Amino acid sequence: MIQVTPVILCGGSGTRLWPLSRTGFPKQFLCLTGAESLFQQAAQRLAGLGNEYIAVADPVIVSGEDHRFLAAEQLREIGIALGTALLEPVGRNTAPALTLAALAAVQHGQDPVMVVTPSDQTVGDTAAFTAAVQQAIAQADKGSIVILGVTPDKPETGYGYIKTDLSGNNAATPKVLTVQAFVEKPKLETAQQYVAEGNYFWNAGMFVLKASVWLAALGKFAPSILQATQGAWAQRSTDAQFVRPGKTEFAAIPSESVDYAVMEHCPNSAFPIQMVPLSAGWSDLGAWDAVWNVLPKDAQGNAHRGDVLSADSHNTLVHASSRLVSLVGVRDLVVIETADAVLVASKSCSQDVKQIVASLGSKNREEHLLHRKVQRPWGWYDSIDEGGRFKVKRIQVKPKASLSLQKHHHRAEHWIVVTGTAEITNGDKVLTLTENQSTYIPLGEVHRLANPGSIPLEIIEVQSGSYLGEDDIVRFEDTYGRVNS
């Protein structure tokens, strides 16, 4: 029986899919192509790899601290248990992320085959994906490094390519091919040549290999990354399924991708590297035009989600989140509507959305960071109105959940219960409030909001003060490990 550990890399911000994708809610957690998020789709594909020869463990995710509860909740929604969440204090690219997963995999003397995939891709043919990855697992169990290479259907200049040796390959039955070289993103003429030759494949960033093989190859080709990551791993702390490497040590790790650190050095080395062709309707959904490509369309080529009305419009992508969006007489447009921002772009300029995100950052605006409605481990809040010295939020707290015991330096708060039962700590008093009852939290007072009931609690919060930013919070106790140090 081959023991397999799925590893899902959850880094990345997806700036080209703004305004749906934000720093606090990046594209891998969005439902862009169906009822499940891209992250959930990845987890389901990996969970389906098991058969009579392959045993699949619960997934390991490598994520930032801010997304840990979001990932855990999305796994819970689809009935997949979280194995381990490895929380990077800062992003150091994919090579250190994979190294954390490998160190976790071997810590108890085991040496599973790791199936490593990004969390932000889509696959149209799950059966073809499963067959290709199972074939890769069989080879990796013998000690090889195996990558998945997407069979190109057009001369794409936005992907790196894998050059392979097709000798002896039967096109009707995909074989495991020998990798000859990795090629950078080509110009159009070169990409056309690659497609014509037939032995070049898109590099999808999916790897299948034993944990020990990765650590050995990294030690050979990038020993500084291995040593630094081992140092951070040695200083790790563990909180249930959340594992945090040493913060200072991890920040000192060289930032490098899996490809640059190891894969590009493997051809003709002591570490055999092979590739399994993947023809499964793969896309990395790197920009809005790629999303349009994979969505179902009407007779005019329009892909619309949400409340959309269209007249005499063609080849458009519209995503309406909170209100009606109407189009008249337009072509090749992308319109993405959210509660606090609207994007209108030419489909051919989808890659340039990142310029808007950069501009928001340079102007210290928050629209690239969070949505108006923000998910939290205890529930969510929606900032429905604000002015110079006030902000109004609608807050929902899950049954039996609570916010942290906290205080604010610059704001007071009024709480009005809309539905459910609220248990409120306000200084040295503990109050129980129900529908239509309210209380006042003075500036600087230590307080907590909890839901002791069995139905969701909703309140309206009115903040008033000189500064209303989300960083004006001092936590003293917290169920979710967010106490101020």
Sheet holding 474-477, edge to edge: 429-433, 422-426, 447-450, 405-407, 474-477
Q: Please state, in angstroms and rounded to a whole number, the distance separating the CA atoms of residues 125 and 195.
A: 21
pLDDT for position 173: 44
Non-local (6+) Cβ contacts of 96 within 8 A are: 88, 225, 228, 229, 250, 253, 254, 255, 256
Are residues 346 and 385 both part of a single domain?
A: no
Q: Please state, in angstroms and rounded to a whole number, the distance separating the CA atoms of residues 436 and 230.
A: 55
Residue finishing a domain among 234, 253, 283: 283
Per-residue tokens: 427: 């200084």
Residue 407 lies in a domain: yes
Residue 388 lies in a domain: yes
Are residues 395 and 473 both part of a single domain?
A: yes
Beta bridge partners of 170: 173
Are residues 221 and 332 both part of a single domain?
A: no
CATH code of 447's domain: 2.60.120.10
pLDDT for position 169: 56
Residue 28 lies in a domain: yes
Are residues 63 and 94 both part of a single domain?
A: yes
Cis peptide before 155 (omega within 30 of 0): no
CA proximity to 105, closest of 261, 223, 243, 231: 243
Q: Which amino acid is at 225?
A: I
Read off φ and ψ for residue 258, nearest 5 degrees: -60, -45
Domain containing residue 95? 2-283
Are residues 297 and 273 both part of a single domain?
A: no
Low-confidence ranges of the chain (pLDDT < 70): 168-174, 484-485
Residue 185 lies in a domain: yes
pLDDT for position 79: 96
Non-local (6+) Cβ contacts of 160 within 8 A are: 182, 183, 184, 185, 202, 203, 259
CA 351 centroid distance within chain: 19
Are residues 335 and 437 both part of a single domain?
A: no
Task: Outline where 81-240 has alpha helix (H).
Answer: 94-106, 126-140, 188-197, 211-221, 223-234
Residue 318 lies in a domain: yes
Are residues 342 and 461 both part of a single domain?
A: no
Residue 298 lies in a domain: yes
The conformation of residue 170, written as its DSSP 8-state character, comes to: B
Whether the Cβ atoms of residue 202 and residue 277 lie closer than 8 Å to each other: no
Whether the Cβ atoms of residue 55 and residue 39 lie closer than 8 Å to each other: no
Per-residue tokens: 419: 């539905």
Q: How many CB atoms lie within 10 A of CB 346?
A: 12
Are residues 46 and 190 both part of a single domain?
A: yes
Q: Which long-range contacts (CB under 8 A, 24 or more apart) does 20-23 make?
A: 20/319, 20/321, 20/336, 20/338, 22/367, 22/368, 22/369, 22/370, 22/371, 23/368, 23/369, 23/370
Give the tens place of pLDDT for each residue, 412-461.
999 999 999 999 999 999 999 999 999 999 999 999 999 999 999 999 99
Residue finishing a domain among 359, 382, 399: 359
Are residues 180 and 321 both part of a single domain?
A: no
pLDDT for position 174: 54
Whether the Cβ atoms of residue 41 and residue 34 lie closer than 8 Å to each other: yes
Q: How many CB atoms lie within 10 A of CB 92?
A: 24
Are residues 242 and 334 both part of a single domain?
A: no
Whether the Cβ atoms of residue 482 and residue 476 lie closer than 8 Å to each other: no
- Give 407's Cβ-side CA count (13 Å radius): 9
For 322, 376, 397, the CA distances from 456, given in Å and listed in that order, are 22, 14, 6
CA proximity to 291, closest of 309, 305, 310: 305
Are residues 294 and 237 both part of a single domain?
A: no
Residue 161, Cβ density class (10 Å: 0-12 exposed, 13-18 middle, ≥19 buried): buried
Give the tens place of pLDDT for each residue, 273-297.
999 999 999 998 989 999 999 999 9
pTM assigned to the model: 0.89
pLDDT for position 484: 62
Residue finishing a domain among 283, 313, 348: 283
CATH code of 219's domain: 3.90.550.10
Residue 10 lies in a domain: yes
Query: Into how many domains does the chain fold?
Result: 3
For 13, 37, 89, 299, 342, the CA distances from 85, given in Å and listed in that order, are 18, 18, 12, 44, 34
Are residues 254 and 345 both part of a single domain?
A: no
Residue 484 lies in a domain: no
